[in-house]
Copies of this chain bind each other. A is one copy, B any other.
Amino acid sequence: MSPATGTRYYTIGELASDFDVTTRTIRFYEEAGLLSPARQGQQRIYQESDRVKLKLILRGKRLGFSLAESRELIEQYDPISGNRSQLNALLRKIEERRETLRQQMLDIQLMQTELDAVAKRCHDALATLPDTQQEKRKLTGK
């Protein structure tokens, strides 16, 4: 294979601006054991695998996962190097997480229903509002 295997490296600053987080955040994730970038001398250098992990972390955040939970997910992601019982434990955890996701899916649908209801009442209220001259002017573009 040629070296064109897409093996690019990133500085912490690039990563930060790419994912719209601060460098402090990225270092904090490392402290918390979620990332472990290579080094050249003092400096951290990040690879694609680190980007994948960061993406997982941030996606988890948007779903309300704690960093500890995301770390589990990441640890599971990398090395399929366990014995039978470890692998089975992992499968059980995966099922748990699936269950959480199912619940969240449900919650989202219920939330959407709520929002629809509020929006409807909102529109109704707007419709019954006596529109003032000022409002009329705004609507017709002055």
Q: How large is the interface on A (under 10, 10 to 19, 20 to 34, 35 or more residues)?
A: 35 or more
Q: Are A62 and B64 in contact (CB under 8 A)?
A: yes
Q: Are B115 and A98 in contact (CB under 8 A)?
A: yes
Q: Mark A13-47, 1 if CB is under 8 A from B, else 0.
A: 00000000000000000000000000000000000
Q: Are A108 and B111 in contact (CB under 8 A)?
A: no
Chain B residues with CB under 8 Å of A118's CB are 76-77, 90, 94
Instruction: Check A103 for interface membership: any CB of B closer than 8 A.
Output: yes
Q: Are B80 and A122 in contact (CB under 8 A)?
A: yes
Partner of A84, one of B64, B77, B135: B135
Q: Bound state CA distance, A121 and B80, in angstroms?
A: 7
Q: Bound state CA distance, A64 and B59, in angstroms?
A: 12
Instruction: Check A1 for interface membership: any CB of B closer than 8 A.
Output: no
Q: Are A125 and B82 in contact (CB under 8 A)?
A: yes
Q: Bound state CA distance, A87 and B84, in angstroms?
A: 58
Beta-carbon contacts under 8 Å, A61-89 to B: 61-64, 73, 76-77, 80, 82-84, 87-88
Instruction: Check A129 for interface membership: any CB of B closer than 8 A.
Output: yes
Chain B residues with CB under 8 Å of A62's CB are 64, 103-104, 107
Chain B residues with CB under 8 Å of A123's CB are 91
Q: Are A104 and B101 in contact (CB under 8 A)?
A: no
